[in-house]
Amino acid sequence: MAVGWYQKAAEQGFAAAQSNLGGMFRLGRGVPQDFVRAAFWYRKACDQSYPLAEFNLAVMFELGQGVTASLTHAAYWYHRAAEHGEESARECFADVLKKLEASKGKPVESSETSA
């Protein structure tokens, strides 16, 4: 039932609903788990600078869930989330920068970033 209401609100452009729907798809709560659909809804909320969606999209880029793993993209979204007030994004941003420095610009496989 909640999925239907979130879906309607998300389609009308409500960032919180888009982020929540992304979370439902990412975790498989009330819907089959679908990382691609989760990333889609997080991106919609990110277009409206919704900090929690920015943080969650960063996590998906770091882990390669529904998107191609990219520490560069993860750093971008963690930074945006931190700028928009998502406190937990600050430490994650610093951690990803360390991983990028350690890789010296080489792509890092998602299995290496999930530790």
Residues 6 or more apart in contact with residue 14 via CB below 8 angstroms: none
Task: Give ∠ CA 82-55-28 in degrees, rounded to 5.
Answer: 165
pTM, two decimals, is: 0.87
The crossing angle, in degrees rounded to 10, of helices 35-46 and 51-63 is 140
Q: Which of 1, 45, 47 is nearest to 22 (CA)?
A: 45
Q: What is the pLDDT of residues 5-51, one digit of tens each?
A: 999 999 999 999 999 999 999 999 999 999 999 999 999 999 999 99
Residue with tokens 């993209």: 73
Tokens of 91: 């430490």
- Spatial separation of the C-alpha atoms in residues 21 and 7, rounded to whole Å: 7
104 confidence band (pLDDT: 50, 70, 90): confident
Which domains can be identified in the chain, with CATH numbers? 2-107 (1.25.40.10)
